[in-house]
Amino acid sequence: MQAIIPLAGMGTRVRPHTHTRPKPLLRVANRPVLSYVVEQLRAEGVDDLICITGHLAGQIRAFMAEEFPGLPVTYVEQSVQRGTADAIALAEPHVTGPVLIVFVDTLFDADFSVLHRHASASGIIWAKEVEDYQRFGVILTDEAGFMKRIVEKPSEPVSKLANIGVYYVKDHELMFEGIRHVMDRDPDLGEYFLTDAFQYMIDRGARLHTAEVGGWFDCGQPETLLETNRVMLERGHGGDPDLPDSVTVDGAIAVAADAVVETSAVGPNVSVAAGSRVRGSRLRHTIVGADSVIEDCDLIDSLVGDRVTLRGVRGRVSVGDDGVVEGERT
């Protein structure tokens, strides 16, 4: 099975970290988000990827070559960001049959057996019921669970089924026809939306079944990245660190095997990537990148990039790769 993974976004909500790193390569529980997604797709039988790249594309290519060397990957560049329909349109020359489409702003618990239970459907749209429905595009369905339309950020509770950006399209030819129809018109709010192509499909008789996921974990902004880190740590990702007696641990944490943590209090919800050193510090709800140095700090709700030096820092920080922040030493 093929899968299209759009990866071209600038990741503006997670700056400064995405100035030097593509958003799909940001880590939760010491692993890039993209790694979780690709492993899940491979487990479901995906053996051919089409990656739509743009911002810092070379890092995506290098990561895939190192992490998944035997997996066939076709790379297509989206040089101008014109929306989700535009991204998927670029994949058309390479799609040969039914296809999965996965946007990697999120991690998710999806039951892919629904593909077989609804084999006669034109496609599947995965969704998650949410209370803060005003933040999302929500899916309206008929009594049998088939999509009627998607309403973006409704002011009234017409539906609480949020569109999570994971799709299976069996009738790919009709989808690309719909994308061309969408892109022949003026863009909506400056973008071409894939969901408008799905509406085109439905208006011409396609039946897109809606399937609800068990879990949906956003990785697209700092606070949700930290929350997803917590979920992955509590699920056992990141391993069980072997730390010295001088370290106090509270809750689930991950410390890379070659990282050094000494005379510190760590957790809950803390991950420390390879090569980093933490001494004399307290870390809570914090993600630390690789090869960073943290000394005499008290951090909470923080994102620390790679090769960062922090000394005497207190409170909440978001420091990109190669940053240096020094406060008062105690």
Q: Which domains does the chain have, with CATH numbers?
A: 2-223 (3.90.550.10), 240-326 (2.160.10.10)
- Do β-strands 123-129 and 161-169 pair in parallel, antiparallel, or remain unpaired? antiparallel
Query: Could you tell me the CA-to-CA distances from 294 to 24, 87, 115, 117, 299 in Å, in that order?
Result: 25, 40, 47, 51, 10
Query: Could you tell me the CA-to-CA distances from 273 to 79, 188, 247, 253 in Å, in that order?
Result: 32, 41, 17, 11
Is the Cβ–Cβ distance between 178 and 202 less than 8 Å?
no
Burial letters 131-147, b for 16+ CB under 10 A, else e? eebeebbbbebeeebbb
DSSP letters along 2-57, please?
A: EEEEE-----GGGTTGGGTS-GGG-EETTEEHHHHHHHHHHHTT--EEEEEE-TTH
Is the Cβ–Cβ distance between 65 and 264 less than 8 Å?
no
- Do β-strands 215-218 and 2-6 pair in parallel, antiparallel, or remain unpaired? unpaired
Cβ partners under 8 Å of residue 149, min gap 6: 139, 140, 199, 202
- 9: left (phi > 0), else alpha (psi -120 to 50), else beta? beta
State which amino acid sits at residue 199: Q
State which amino acid sits at residue 273: A
> How many Cβ atoms sit within 10 Å of the Cβ of residue 322?
13
Is the Cβ–Cβ distance between 203 and 222 less than 8 Å?
no
pLDDT tens string, the chain, 330 residues long: the values are 899 999 998 888 899 999 999 999 999 999 999 999 999 899 888 999 999 999 999 999 999 999 999 899 999 999 888 889 999 999 999 999 999 999 988 888 887 878 777 777 889 999 888 877 667 788 888 888 888 888 877 777 778 788 888 999 999 999 999 999 999 888 776 788 898 999 999 999 999 988 888 888 888 889 999 999 999 999 988 877 789 999 999 999 999 989 999 999 998 999 999 999 999 999 999 999 999 999 999 999 999 999 999 999 999 999 999 999 998 765
C-alpha closest to that of 274 among 285, 263, 284, 261: 261
Cβ partners under 8 Å of residue 45, min gap 6: 1
Is the Cβ–Cβ distance between 109 and 213 less than 8 Å?
yes
Q: What is the pTM of this model?
A: 0.89
With H, G, I as helix, E, B as strand and everything else as coil, classify residue 250: coil
State which amino acid sits at residue 207: R
Is the Cβ–Cβ distance between 194 and 179 less than 8 Å?
yes
